Structure 1
Amino acid sequence: MITIKQVHTKKEFKAFVKFPFSLYKDSKYWVPPIISQEIKTFDKNENPVFNDADAYFFLAYKGEEIVGRVAAIINWLEVKNQGEKKMRFGWFDYIDDLDVSKALLDKVTEIGKQNNLEYTEGPVGFSNLDKVGVLTEGFDVLGTMITWYNHPYYVTHLEKLNYRPEKEWIESRFPFSNINPESFTKANTLIKKRYQVSVRNFTHTKDVMPYADEMFDLFNTSYASLASFVEITDIQKAYFKKKFISFINPEYIKFVFDKDDKMIAFAILMPSFAKVLQEIGGKLFPFGFLKLLKAKKESKDIIFYLIGIAPEYQNKGITAIIFNECYETLKDKNIENCIRTPELADNIAIQQIWKHFDPEIIKRRKTFRKEIE
């Protein structure tokens, strides 16, 4: 007998966040979230996304034991402004029991019906800066703090419940030794001169902050054409600055400006925290915070988190400037491996940017969709 209960109390939210810790306790590849930060993500008083979104959180029980969870999400900016009548679902985890996954998704569908939505899609988060997709390949590769991991049976469940693939993302990596600076150094000099652009580098996080809002504006414009993009609102910017930028070594943030001092491109790289997060088990105290700070400075694996270029400067070689700046920094840090975050499989333009580095695809992930009848 499966019982589905909606999450309301602090105790229940903590159980919601901690369920995967038991589900993946024997996994070498699952990377736990920071528990306190994950709970804040679901707090309407902390996360401004709730100004434009509704979310319902559910736990599945067999008797007294938690056996699954799901978040049912409606992003009203997406529904009203884009006319995309989508019921999102995310944070979707469950034991290998089809009755459990079905009961959870039935709850998602029920909420979609109540709000006159047309289809469900997931796993996705609230916005494009959240995690996305169920892993379909790469189960034996260590995850990252910005992606979900899952058991192989997740895909089987979705297929048996008549969900069909909607979008696909790929993740890849390449050793730093693959980077041949000759592929961009000459172009870097020429492009800077041709378009009269300049680069700004940083050593202190406080120096990054005055430019953060402009960066998020550029993120909105440079990613607007991608499927299912939902813009970051002004009120969300402060939240994301606090949530993300504190985890990034400021030396890994690169901004490019035109002759009028307008930002036209950015790159954000992150140290890999995966191994440290496994070690601290999602807890910042008593020593987790210090270990994260150490990894922030010393990790030899780097994640290319976000690159954005203003539409009018795309296909004009600006990536040569970004790669040149990143290369110089990563060389000084003795970085060994470069990891790319999920990129849409049909985004050929972004894949062409990386071809000189001979990346290896290490993971694939998909979202799944089902019409609401």
Structure 2
Amino acid sequence: MVLTKSSIQIHAVTTPEENEMFLDVPSIVYANDSHWVAPIRSSIAKQFTPTNPFFNYGKLQQFIAVSQDKGAKPLGRIVATVNQHLIEKEGQNVGLFGYFECIQDFEVAQALLSTACEWLRQQGMTVVRGPIDLSTHNNCFFLVDGFDSPPMMMTPYNPRYYPEFIERDGWHKAKDAYAYDFPLDKPLPTEFEKAYRIACKSGVNFRPIRTKGEGFETDAIAIYHLFNRAFANNWSSTPRSEAEFMEEANELQSLVDPDVFPIAEYNGEMIGFFMGLPDYNIALKHLNGKFNWLGILKFLWYRRQIDQGRVIVICSLPEYRRKMVALALIYLGMKGGIQKGKPYKRAELGYIFEDNFPSRKLTEASGGKIYKTYRIYEKAL
């Protein structure tokens, strides 16, 4: 498929050379952005290989925008996705767009979005939603507020003009989500330590995640099943296969700090966890997306500068709410982060959807303040 608009051509990515151009786009868009952290190039490329378990239940098409004025220079990119699991869950033909990057030119953005929508329309989709990279378990959202600080690990970042461009193209807000800032120089309210004591007296056991060998694999599989059980009704989300989850878990295994990853168990069954990770973006920023031997050396050197962390998930089964498991996990996770010898000075918790009021209330009670807002958009086809 080739769409030509003035000096812009939109190509479907079909060759290795076009795929390299697709992967080059972010380095062009963010060339002068001091906050941007380049994703690991090989990790992004791997998501489009036939071995990705996504292709067992979905299909996609990559597109690139290319300038014809002075040679084939990449100007932008987008991926249109059909996730059959999401269609089955929602009962409507909802398609996705993701991996969107674009220079500051509305004509380029509009051409990319139009091309993705047309491909999805040809697949029988009636609604398109995004940005979502294949599923909400991957990168998703546009940042719409909070551009004054770099992104933490595994969070989206984009130029300010992306929301402006997509709204100008007729898209509307589907849902917002928030990231919360936690300065770690203030103690948690006393209710959190009391909750921990109540949970312990109620028979709940707490321990750090195991990070090696069979212990890690056992914990990761238990987290996978618990996550699917606890978040089965999350908006626009579908369960990953165990293979997908374990692939990501194995990538994160060496990065886990068990002191900020407590697990709750009751009668030997995992019932909750607090997933905190050091903000490795501080080190990754120096790699320019290349995790080769030099990149590894840089990563090992700069990881010593990490002084903040990200809380990705606080999970607790609702039937154990009266045992104060969620508050106890927050207490242990925060306590682990500020103990002697730890470098963490602040933490981020997110995402929390704007209409998830129980989680927002708990987060705000523990001292969190909204400091970034993210948005997913929709459009009828």
The two structures have a TM-score, normalised by structure 1, of 0.93
Give me the whole-angstrom Cα distance separating, in 2, the residues matched to 1:251 and 1:105: 43
Aligned pair count reads 369
SS at match of 2:347: strand
Corresponding residue for residue 352 of structure 1: 361
Among 360, 371, 374, the alignment partner of 1:365 is 374
List alignment gaps of at least 5 residues for structure 2. Answer: 1-6
**2:305 is the counterpart of 1:326:** no
Corresponding residue for residue 188 of structure 1: 196
SS at match of 1:322: helix
Name the CA shift for 1:311/1:49 in 2 (closer, same or farther; >3 Å).
Answer: farther
Give me the whole-angstrom Cα distance separating, in 2, the residues matched to 1:247 and 1:12: 33
Give me the whole-angstrom Cα distance separating, in 1, the residues matched to 2:282 and 2:137: 22
Q: Is the 8 A contact 1:87 1:108 kept in 2?
A: no
Give me the whole-angstrom Cα distance separating, in 2, the residues matched to 1:223 and 1:315: 19
**2:277 is the counterpart of 1:270:** yes
Among 34, 38, 50, the alignment partner of 2:44 is 38
Corresponding residue for residue 52 of structure 1: 57
**2:177 is the counterpart of 1:172:** no
After TM superposition, give the deviation of residue 293 of structure 1 in Å.
4.3
Q: Is the 8 A contact 2:282 2:306 kept in 1?
A: no
After TM superposition, give the deviation of residue 225 of structure 1 in Å.
2.0
Corresponding residue for residue 201 of structure 1: 208
Corresponding residue for residue 4 of structure 2: none
After TM superposition, give the deviation of residue 325 of structure 1 in Å.
2.0
Q: Is the 8 A contact 2:286 2:298 kept in 1?
A: no
- Cα RMSD after superposing both structures: 1.9
Give me the whole-angstrom Cα distance separating, in 1, the residues matched to 2:48 and 2:338: 39
Residue identity in the other structure for 2:53: P
After TM superposition, give the deviation of residue 175 of structure 1 in Å.
0.8
Corresponding residue for residue 235 of structure 1: 243
Give me the whole-angstrom Cα distance separating, in 2, the residues matched to 1:171 and 1:190: 29
Name the CA shift for 1:327/1:136 in 2 (closer, same or farther; >3 Å).
Answer: closer
Residues 206-285 of structure 1 correspond to what in structure 2 (within 5 A)? Answer: 206=213, 207-259=215-267, 261-285=268-292
Give me the whole-angstrom Cα distance separating, in 1, the residues matched to 2:166 and 2:86: 24
Give me the whole-angstrom Cα distance separating, in 1, the residues matched to 2:319 and 2:135: 25
Give me the whole-angstrom Cα distance separating, in 2, the residues matched to 1:6 and 1:315: 53
Q: Deviations over 1:97-142 (max 9, x none)?
A: 2221111111211122112111111101222321111111111211
Among 2, 8, 13, the alignment partner of 1:2 is 8
The two structures have a TM-score, normalised by structure 2, of 0.91
After TM superposition, give the deviation of residue 203 of structure 1 in Å.
5.9
SS at match of 2:78: strand
Name the CA shift for 1:52/1:134 in 2 (closer, same or farther; >3 Å).
Answer: same
Residue identity in the other structure for 2:221: D
Give me the whole-angstrom Cα distance separating, in 1, the residues matched to 2:178 and 2:163: 16
After TM superposition, give the deviation of residue 246 of structure 1 in Å.
3.6
SS at match of 2:33: coil
After TM superposition, give the deviation of residue 169 of structure 1 in Å.
1.0
Corresponding residue for residue 14 of structure 1: 20
Corresponding residue for residue 166 of structure 2: 158
Runs of 4+ with >4 A deviation = 293-298
SS at match of 2:62: strand
**2:96 is the counterpart of 1:88:** yes
